[in-house]
Structure 1
Amino acid sequence: MPDRPDMAAAVAAPPLTNLIRSGGEMFNWTDTDGRDNQLLTRLVLEHAGPGRTVLVAGPHPDGLVAALAGAGAEVTWLLRSLIDAETAARAHPGITVLSGAFGKADLTGGYDLVVAAGGIQRLNSAEGDQLAAGELLDRLAAAVRPDGALILMHDNQLGAHHTVRLDPGARHRDDAAWHPSETTEGPAARSQLTAHLTGAGLVVDAAYAAFPEPGDPAVLIGGVTLGDVTSPLRPWLRTVLAQAYTVAFRGRPVLSDPRRLVNRALRAGAEETVAGGWLVVAHAPGDTEPAREWHDVLVSDVHGVYTPDAAEPGVTGRVDSLVRERIVNPVAADRLEDRLLELCAAADVRRLRQEIAQYESWLGAGPVSGPRALADLSDLGITADGPVVMSARWSPAEPVPAQIVLVRALWQFAVRLITWGRPHPWPNTASAADLAAILAGMAGRSLADDELRAAIDLQVVIDSAEFGLGPAERQAHRLALLAVQPGTAPLDVAGYHELTEALWRQRYQASHLLAMMEWNEQIIRSRDSALSKMDWELQLLRRTWGGRSLMLAKRAYKKVKK
């Protein structure tokens, strides 16, 4: 019987000389998720260099390990999955791959850099004793040489990503979601984590709150900015975090929209409590203190990784008819969208008209180019000199008519009013298009159907470039945007709470319509009754001599009048 192709390939494959099985490895198991993270790569490379020994503990993005090896570091990668270890050894012949449980690995001698950005939950193996969280942290700290560094990501069990999770059966369906037990021991707060590492002999240099999820962070907040409600970065951070959570949770069923929870926490200075995890950078004391640069905020988006104080505006590429352009302008100002939401909730139509008119005059009469042509109302701050663009990710390749820019901004605001269930002075509007027409009328502009469709098409182009939508997804997204009306749930993040709220609004609208129908029927019945009574009285008068005399007199009067 001939050999199977996979067996023949296994026999023909050369032996893996860079793979060491330390014991406790897991068979027929994988922790690979295939995602790269440029934010973690940027932070890790700041502590790596030629000749430095690096231990990568646990599953990590393949691009991060390749970047470490490309920087000239001597990399050792520890993986509990034998399949993942063999794949890594073949893909990176220049690094040493250890396969097995973290507790059984020989880490004598220490390393200049220990990277555990995948957390400690996937360091234990099912094929052996389970080390407690405190023991894993102690072993990680002991693996750091004097003057060496530790970069550790720790999952926050109180994070928003756990609070809003709605994915039954995930732990039994996905290999990467396996945990030996819930993390009931070990650090449960950032302060506890830093205190434990300090007790293990390390000096904590920086501790960041990571958003939106520890496995794929897009925003790191630390230093004096973390928890400081007076920081001028607050309005800008709300926009950045909202975008990060939109990208991470778009199309995923959740219990509730995480953007609301994070927004409230950010306003209260409690973002550390709901962060996806905590990223800690610590070092072991030695003879020298290496000079390192710490960041208060680190952000990753389609443009790359940047800090607000060192973000240089510029064009980084082009997608369809849009240009990727970075604008970072954290100013101490209220967001225009927040102000409009407050005015709508207070039914202050006069001030609402003033704000919209000011925004319309800021756009100008001619075609609009640059980032402000595509900036959402949530990206604009209100200063004494008028609106300013705080954050922007796209610009049009060609200028856009000011009317289309205005219609798109107001229509998008109308969509958020409806899908978020926010109060406004016109609750009986039939759709987002009708509400956008009312808002445009406040700026002295009319809203034609072709202008609305052009604005929606522009929004579809932006969403397609942002989320990589295909032709079929674009068409479905366009139809969904055109059909927004009271009772429509949010179109990006499908939260159970928001769906329930949308169902309630639909029932309210239906009950209101039924009540109106019943009232109309009662009015019609009462009028029919009154008409029947009048007809009966006329017929009675016509049957009597007095009534007949009156009818004859009426006819004679009409003839004389003619």
Structure 2
Amino acid sequence: MPNRPDPAEAPTAAPLTNLTRSGGEMFAWSDRPGRDSPLLDHLIVELGGPGRSVLVAGPHPAGLVAALAAGGADVTWVLRSGTDAEAAARAHPTITVRSGTFGKIDLTSGYDLVVAVDGLQRLNSAEGDQLSADDLLRRLAGAVRPDGTLVLMHDNQLGAHHTVRLDPGARFRDDAAWSAATADPASRAQLTSRLAGFGLTTATTYAAFPEPSAPAVLIGGETLGDVASPLRPWLETVLAQAYTTAFRGRPVLADPRELVSRALRAGAEDTVAGGWLVIASTPGAAGLPPALPDVLAADVNGVYAVGADGPVTLSPAASSREVEGLRRVRVVRPVAGYRLEARLLELCAAADVRGLRQEITGYESWLGTGPISGPEALADLSDIAVTGDGPTVLSARWEPATALPAQIVLVRALWQFAVRLTTGGRPHPWPITASAADLAAILVGMAGRSLADEELRAAVDLQVTIDGAEFGLDRAGRQAHRLALRSVQPGSAPVDVAGYHQLAEALWRQRYQASHLLAMMEWTERIIQSRDAQLSRMDWELQLLRRGWGGRGLMLAKRAYKMVRK
């Protein structure tokens, strides 16, 4: 056997002067930090600044901590994992790292900014006393200096991301999934009330979507719960896209987009939000921004605020703006009207073929006949609103670098709607056994046009290009996605967010189709048997007639007639 080096003779690493152990660390343990969130990074870095002392409580993305330090802030990072604390101290020598359970960390000096956007769940350590949620909130509030600010993200246990989760054994499989029972407070009102009891004044609160670890949309102010807001149609579109991106390829009980869409129409989006972001301060805080917008969002184009007048860019994306013939754009048009896809689904459920033809014809007229450029060429039916002045694009993230034929644009939009009808188990006026291609041909025919096979293939390839640019699919992933889109049948599950409910619905449709085929086979067999019986009886009657004198005479007369004609 080869000689192994003596651990005592191994070179020791340089001592970490910026690491303080407070006790209660969890060794041989690692908390997976949350995903990078440009939206949270923008808000927190804006609240930081040169000379300000910042406490980062819990595991956070290293990019956020590095951005705070790069902005000139004096950063202190508290981690319960001893391994994570050592790695953070080595990677960020300019910040102070403290490891241990949160109850043993010395917070008497106070901080200008306290950041806890990872929540309360991972502040307790298994090696120390388990503090309650109120105790953790009290310690966080006590760490805020006069004129200081607390930024806290609290997980909503009733959120859609928990309701639809389908991942058995996750809490036993991953270290980072362990947490003490810190579910309280259970609502945004309880959270702000308890912070007020600890001496903090809430300046701004947001409902975060889709998940608290990486929110893409923040809704607050008067827009939250206001069903009459002109931002409602746009919010339904952007939230659907956010949940599609977050849950694509993940096992879920049901499609979260349906749940959030219903809650949004009822003004109850705060109840199913992924979490609540609270920005609170001590009375008379001077470091808080004078006003924060009601709606903040982030996508491939950066971070932006949205109001009734449209978007305002806060932090543009640094990546390339053109990908494989597609150009990144940002279109946000909060208008009063109805979403075209929602209207078509209602008409399909009511079997209103005349209304469907009118809506599709209006959409086809709006597209026109010439080559189409701009966001209209790639906008889904869910991204289009119909107002008193006609259709308009509510939201768009991509546009083609070169104009596309109007026929391909029309086919792609209607085919995509047909896919959602088929995979979502939506009721429609046509047979349930119709495939997505058959439904697309019917819908295109309502616009007064025909659908060729090469046009459908071109539309599918265009959709694959869009999804590949949106979700970063590689060559193999795009090929698999193309095959899945081309093979959408009544028993197919959704190709983006395949929930158990949708899978059960697809299984029911498969069984219905199989039972329908079996019934047709039995009916055909009965018809064949009935006709065979009739033919047998007619043959018997003919044979009987032929054996009699009358039948023989008729046969002789028939033969004589044929001979005379010849």
- 2:408 is paired with a residue whose SS is helix
CA distance in 2, matches of 1:384, 1:265: 26
**Secondary structure at the counterpart of residue 311 of structure 1:** strand
Correspondences of 1:238-317 after superposition (within 5 Å)? 238-286=236-284, 288=286, 290-309=288-307, 311=311, 317=321
Q: Distance in 1 between matches of 2:187 and 2:383?
A: 32
Which amino acid counterpart does residue 161 of structure 1 have in structure 2?
Answer: H
* Cα distance, 1:474 vs structure 2: 0.7
CA shift, 1:559, in A, is: 4.2
**2 CA distance for matches of 1:142 and 1:536?**
104
Separation of aligned partners in 1, 2:290 and 2:107:
26
Q: Deviations over 1:135-193 (max 9, x none)?
A: 00011011101110000011111111111111111011111111133x45x31011000
Q: Secondary structure at the match of 2:428?
A: coil
Distance in 2, Cα, partners of 1:130 & 1:213: 25
Question: Which residue matches 2:109?
Answer: 109
Structure 1 CA distance, aligned partners of 2:59 and 2:31? 6
Deviation at 1:537, TM superposition (A): 0.3
Aligned to 2:347: 343
The answer on whether the counterparts of 1:32 and 1:84 sit within 8 Å (CA) in structure 2 is no
The 5 A counterparts of 1:491-530 are 491-530=495-534
* 1:104-503 paired onto structure 2 within 5 Å: 104-181=104-181, 183=182, 186-286=184-284, 288=286, 290-309=288-307, 311=311, 317-503=321-507
CA distance in 2, matches of 1:99, 1:557: 114
For the residue of structure 1 that corresponds to 2:422, the secondary structure is helix
2:431 and 2:212 map into 1 onto residues whose CA distance is: 40
Closer, same or farther: CA 143–450 of 1 in aligned 2, 3 Å: same
Q: What secondary structure sits across from 1:490 in the alignment?
A: coil
Separation in 2, partners of 1:530, 1:142: 95
Distance 1:462 1:7, change over 3 A: farther
Give, in whole Å, the separation in 2 of the partners of 1:418 and 1:90: 53
What's the counterpart of residue 55 of structure 1?
A: 55
After TM superposition, the score normalised by the length of structure 2 is 0.96
d(CA) in 1 for partners of 2:519, 2:163: 39
- 1:40 is matched with which residue? 40
Is 472-481 or 27-36 further displaced after alignment?
27-36
Query: Does structure 1 retain, via aligned residues, the 8 Å contact 2:48–2:68?
Result: yes
Greater shift, 252-261 or 315-324, is seen at 315-324
RMSD: 1.7
Shift of 1:2: 5.2
For 1:46, what is the secondary structure of its paired residue? helix
CA 1:555–1:4 in structure 2 vs 1: closer, same or farther (change >3 Å)?
farther
Shift of 1:32: 2.4
Distance 1:218 1:166 in 2: 22
Displacement after TM superposition at 1:552 (Å): 1.8
Amino acid at match of 1:510: A
Q: Distance in 2 between matches of 1:294 and 1:322?
A: 33
User: Residues of 1 paired with 2:186 and 2:145: CA distance?
Assistant: 26
Deviation at 1:295, TM superposition (A): 1.8
Report the residue type matching 2:105 in the other structure.
A
Q: Which residue of the partner structure matches residue 5 of structure 2?
A: 3
Q: Verify the 8 A CA contact 2:225 2:269 in the aligned structure 1.
A: yes
Cα pair distance change 1:229/1:7, threshold 3 Å: farther
Equivalent pairs: percent with the same residue? 73
Question: Contact 1:69 / 1:95 at 8 angstroms: preserved in 2?
Answer: yes
- Work out the CA distance in 2 between the residues paired with 1:298 and 1:29: 35
Distance 2:210 2:49 in 1: 29
Q: How many residues align?
A: 558
Give the Å deviation of 1:312: 5.1
Instruction: Give the SS at the match of 1:472.
Output: helix
Shift of 1:290: 4.6
Q: What letter matches 1:385 in structure 2?
A: D
Sort the Cα spacing of 1:544 and 1:288 in 2 relative to 1 into closer, same or farther, 3 A: closer
**Amino acid of the residue matched to residue 46 of structure 1?**
E
CA distance in 1, matches of 2:286, 2:473: 51
Q: Is the 8 A contact 2:349 2:429 kept in 1?
A: yes
Q: Deviations over 1:454-503 (max 9, x none)?
A: 10000000000011111111111101100001111111112011100100
C-alpha contact (below 8 Å) 1:209/1:221 kept by paired residues: yes
Contact 1:156 1:189 in 2 (8 A): yes
Amino acid in structure 2 at the alignment position of 1:98: R
Please list the CA deviations of residues 25-59 of structure 1 after superposition, one character each: whole Å capped at 9, or x if unmatched: 11011112462111111111221111111100001
8 Å contact 1:164–1:258 — kept in the other structure? yes
* Residue identity matched to 2:521: M
Distance 1:452 1:57, change over 3 A: same
8 Å Cα contact 1:207-1:222 kept in structure 2? yes
Name the aligned partner's letter for residue 15 of structure 2: P
Cα deviation 1:73-106 (Å, max 9, x = unaligned) = 1100000011111111111111100111110000
Supply the distance in 2 between the matched residues of 1:370 and 1:109 (Cα, whole angstroms): 55
Separation in structure 2 between the aligned mates of residue 238 and residue 311 of structure 1, nearest angstrom: 16
| Closer, same or farther: CA 35–553 of 1 in aligned 2, 3 Å | same
Aligned equivalents of 1:425 and 1:128: distance in 2? Answer: 63
Change (3 A) 1:519 1:534: same
Contact kept, 8 Å, 1:414 with 1:436, in 2: the verdict is: yes
Q: 1:351 to 1:287 in 2, by over 3 A?
A: closer
- Classify 1:5/1:235 alpha carbon distance in 2 versus 1 (closer, same or farther; 3 Å): farther
Q: Which residue of 1 aligns with 2:546?
A: 542
Helix, strand or coil for the counterpart of 2:75? strand
Q: Which residue of 2 aligns with 1:95?
A: 95
Report the AA paired with residue 306 of structure 1: Y
CA deviation after TM superposition for structure 1 residue 429, in Å? 5.0
Pairwise CA distance, 1:311? 2.3
1:555 paired residue number? 559
Answer whether contact 2:490 2:510 (CA < 8 A) is retained: yes
Provide the rounded CA distance (Å) in 1 between the counterparts of 2:563 and 2:92: 112
